[in-house]
Structure formats: C-alpha cells, structure tokens
Structure 1
Amino acid sequence: MLKDPKIAPRLIVFSDLDGTLLDHESYSWDLARPALDQMRALGIPLVLASSKTAAEIADLRSNLGFEDAPAIVENGAGVLEPGGDATADRSAHSAICAALSDLDPDLRRCFTGFSDWTIHELAQQTGLALDQAKSAARRHFSEPGLWRGTPEQRAIFETNLAQNGIFARQGGRYLTLSMGAIKADRMAEIVARFDPKPVTMALGDAPNDVEMIRAADHGVVVMNSHGPGLPALEGEATGRITRTVEPGPKGWNTAVLDRIAQLYTERG
C-alpha cells in the first residue's frame, strides 16, 4: 500500500477506533468487514488514528490486514510506520506524569490516568483483556484518564498543564494529555508522502477527531450512541462532511462503501 510512495492510491482512509471502527462496548469491527474487504481488494490504505498505543495498534492493524500502512498513535503524538515498532523513548510520557505530580493535590485527584491504575484495574476500567491492558499501559507520548472534577477545576487543570507544554484532548471516553500534536498534523504528514495527492477520507466520533474530519476531502462524523456526539461542523452544509445514521462500525461500513462507490464511479 504505502511501501512505494511513487504509486499513490486514489483514496486513503483515516479512521478513529473506539466508537468509530470499533464497537463502543465490544471493540468488534465485524460490522465493518464488507468495507474493509473491499478496501484491501482495491489497495486502499487504512490509517488507524487513535489514542491507543503503538503496541495496541500494531496487533490490531495486523489483524485488520493493513500492516503496510502507517498508523497514528496516542492521539497524534506519534506515528507507527509500516512494520515498525514503538520508540523506546518515554521521555514525553515521563514529563507528563511529572507535571501531574506537581499539581495541587486537590486538583490532581480530579484526574485518574492509566498510570494511576494497576494492570488489573486498567483492564477493569477499560473492559480490555489483561494482555491488551498491558499494551495500553505502554505509553510513550500521552496519558489518558478520567476527569471527575468540575468544569471550573478542569479549566485550572488545563491552564496549569499548558504552562508545561501539555495539552488536554477529550476523546469519546477519556481525556488524553499530550505535548500538543494532534491527529490532523500526522494526517497531513502522511498525505504529503504522495504525488499526486490521493483523495482523503477521515472518520471519527469524538472531539479529538474534529480537526482530522475537517482536514479531509471527505469527513464523516460517526454517530455516537453513548454521548452527546459532535456539534454541527463547517462543511456539512456543502456535503463535504457527512454523518452516519447508524453508530460505530455499522455506520462506518456504510460511509466507506458509499465513498468508494462514488469515487470509483466518478473516475472509472
């Protein structure tokens, strides 16, 4: 797929995982199999873009059959190259944990990150199997967690962390702290590898997907049946950004199949 940058695909699909390609509760992608099969048959790369770690995404990418495509990891903080392994440098994650430790204790207690839990607690909180929880704990660039304070406390929390170059991004389930890079930044870097530029499609369901959805030639807001979803986005009025009627992988499947049919019908 992306091994030879001289051969640009017509379409590249960038996709969030939890609540988008993966079912919010079961983490299954079974309902998206028809679209995934067609993408593989046509040589359309699938670039996974998630707050998950490289260790988590490497296995998932392989199981999906898209190991020849890069992946955007830890909410845009890093890129996992085709066939690549995660970097051993955890300095960014260490800096985030140190900044959290320096916060006022009352404020710090409002945020419970993955590093605050044992592997068994992490598995219980996320619904992951133990081996998957171990991969989720191997963070290099970011720290996801649950926020339990007030909006006013969160504003103070984010302001204090920003003084150390750390920013918070709300996903469908977790508030993720990182050094600032976002999914859309990595998306632009990957697309720039090709000449001519392929058509880009980006799908997501949460606030940390908005920039990626906006930056794509065709953005898709996947219905989120477990939260408020996303407000109206610029581009929806013209049809450049659309919304699925069905949630998760079922909606994802329909949107990707529709886009493939439209693109390949238009260009033959």
Structure 2
Amino acid sequence: MLSIMQNALHLLVFTDLDGTLIDHDTYQWAPAQPALCALSRIHAGVILASSKTAPEVNALREALDLADWPAIIENGAGLLPAHGQSAPDGHEYHQIRSALAQIPNALRRHFTGFGDLTPAEVEKVTGLSTTAATQAKERAFSEPGLWHGTENELSEFKNALQALGISTRDGGRFLTLSYGKNKSDQMAAIVTRYAPKHTIALGDAPNDVEMLEAAEFGVVIPNPNGRALPKLVGEAKGRIIRAPETGPAGWNAAILGLLEKLDLQKD
C-alpha cells in the first residue's frame, strides 16, 4: 500500500471534539466508530480541531489512532504537528503573558488567566479532572481567563491588548487572548499542504462556524447544552447540513451519509 503522501488524498475531515466527535457527558466516541472505520478504509485524514491544549489533544489523538495527522489546538491559535514532528515550544504563550504584564494594573487586575491559577484552581473553575486541569495549563498559543471588571473596563483592556498585537475572543465563560488565528485559518493551511479532493468539517458551537463554512461540506451537530447555531451560509444550497442526532451518533450518521454522497465508500 502506498503512503498517504504518495497517493492523491480523497478526503480530509476536520472535527471539533467535545459535543461533536466525543460525547459531552460520557467523553466516549463509540457511536462514531463505524464512520471512523469507514474513513480509515478509504485512507481519509481526520484532523481534530479543539479548544484543548497539545497534551489534551495528543492523548485523544493517540486513543483514536489519528497520530499520523496534525491537529488544531487552542481554538485554532496553534497547530499540533503529526506524531514524530517537533511539538509546540510555548513561545507565543510566553509572549502573551509578557504582554499582559505591560497592561496597566487598573485593568490587568480584572483578568485572571489560567497562568495566574494553580491546577487546583483551574480544576475548580472548569470542572475538569485534576489531570485534565494540569494539561489545560500547559498552553502554547493562547491564554483563556475570567473577566471580573465592567464592560467599559473590558473595552479598555481589549484596546490595550490590541495595541500590543494581542487579539481577544469572548467564549461565553472565558475570554481568550491569542495572536488571532482561528480554526478555519489552520484548516486552510492544512488543506494547502495536503490538497485533498474533498473536505468535511463538523462542529457544534459558535467557534466552529468559520470552519464549517470554509469546508466543502459542513455539518452542524445539535448541542442540547447550548444555544442552537443560527442558519449558516451554505445551508440553503445543502452545502451545510444538520446532523440528525447529537454527539458521536450524529457525527457517525453525517459522515456515513456524506461518504455515500461523495461515492467514497469502500467495502
């Protein structure tokens, strides 16, 4: 069998994790296994795209047998290379922390980033396990945190960071600082590198929208724990569809349906 790089790649799948490929509550992906096996049979690439850090994603990538593919981490702020390639060195994260130190204390004191917290404190504010909270602090490209000030102070804080080249993104609970890249930016770089014939993206949250709209086919996975995504560009023409079920079961049904549509099944 020729290697991935020697053959034309028919399909790249970009997928969010929590609430999409893996169940939001049980953290399992068993219902998606038939589709994962079908993708493996046709040698499709599966790119994990998550808000999680490199250690968190790497563990899942190994468990899913996807280590030969890069992964999008920290909501698109960075990329985890394929297994065996150099891991992120954290340089961008240290630059963000240095920029925070330049913000006037009257504003800085209202932001509590993960870098200001112990693993036990991260565990408390996120609900993660002790191990996961420790991994969530091992950041390379972005700094999430809690904002405690007023809306006016938040506007000033964002402007001060922007002057230092740092972008901010509101995620509902956490305010995340980065150099502005998102999942679709990393997706574009990966597509350029691998040049697949087809692309599919799946996600369930607002931070997945750009990725869903950038793919040839986007799949919205229903999210019972959050507000439903509004109608997206491409739904009217059927380029973006809504999965029939939540989590990995919906992921499985959508992927198998699209493989049939693209005539990419393999016995």
In 1, distance between residues paired with 2:30 and 2:209?
Answer: 25
Gaps of 5+ in 1: none
Shift of 1:2: 11
Please name the residue that 2:243 is paired with.
244
Asked whether the equivalents of residues 172 and 205 of structure 1 are also in contact (C-alpha less than 8 Å), the reply is no
Asked whether the equivalents of residues 222 and 244 of structure 1 are also in contact (C-alpha less than 8 Å), the reply is yes
Quick check: 1:139 aligned with 2:149? no
Asked whether the equivalents of residues 244 and 253 of structure 2 are also in contact (C-alpha less than 8 Å), the reply is no
Are the structure 2 counterparts of residues 220 and 151 from structure 1 closer, same or farther at C-alpha, using a change threshold of 3 Å? farther
Shift of 1:80: 1.6
Please name the residue that 2:34 is paired with.
34
Please give the secondary structure, in 1, of the residue aligned with 2:25: coil
Shift of 1:150: 5.2
Quick check: 1:86 aligned with 2:87? yes
Please name the residue that 1:262 is paired with.
261
In 2, distance between residues paired with 1:154 and 1:2?
Answer: 54
Which segment drifts farther, 118-127 or 137-146?
118-127
Q: RMSD of the alignment, in Å?
A: 2.7
Please name the residue that 2:252 is paired with.
253
What letter corresponds to residue 261 of structure 1 in structure 2? E
Please name the residue that 1:164 is paired with.
164
What letter corresponds to residue 18 of structure 1 in structure 2? D
In the TM superposition, 1:220-239 aligns within 5 A as 220-239=219-238
Shift of 1:222: 1.7
What letter corresponds to residue 26 of structure 1 in structure 2? T
Which segment drifts farther, 21-30 or 184-193?
21-30
Which segment drifts farther, 71-80 or 140-149?
140-149
What TM-score, normalized by structure 1, do the two folds share?
0.87
Please name the residue that 2:126 is paired with.
126
In 2, distance between residues paired with 1:110 and 1:236?
Answer: 40
Please give the secondary structure, in 1, of the residue aligned with 2:194: coil
Shift of 1:20: 1.9
In 1, distance between residues paired with 2:9 and 2:172?
Answer: 30
What letter corresponds to residue 233 of structure 2 in structure 1? E
Asked whether the equivalents of residues 169 and 207 of structure 1 are also in contact (C-alpha less than 8 Å), the reply is no
In 2, distance between residues paired with 1:44 and 1:158?
Answer: 40
What letter corresponds to residue 29 of structure 2 in structure 1? W
In 2, distance between residues paired with 1:19 and 1:217?
Answer: 22
In 1, distance between residues paired with 2:148 and 2:74?
Answer: 22
Shift of 1:164: 1.4
Shift of 1:94: 1.8
What letter corresponds to residue 115 of structure 1 in structure 2? G
What TM-score, normalized by structure 2, do the two folds share?
0.87
Asked whether the equivalents of residues 14 and 47 of structure 1 are also in contact (C-alpha less than 8 Å), the reply is yes
Shift of 1:12: 0.9
In 1, distance between residues paired with 2:30 and 2:266?
Answer: 29
Please give the secondary structure, in 2, of the residue aligned with 1:208: helix
Please give the secondary structure, in 2, of the residue aligned with 1:246: coil
In 1, distance between residues paired with 2:172 and 2:4?
Answer: 34
Please give the secondary structure, in 1, of the residue aligned with 2:226: coil
Asked whether the equivalents of residues 172 and 207 of structure 1 are also in contact (C-alpha less than 8 Å), the reply is no
What letter corresponds to residue 75 of structure 1 in structure 2? N
Are the structure 2 counterparts of residues 149 and 221 from structure 1 closer, same or farther at C-alpha, using a change threshold of 3 Å? farther
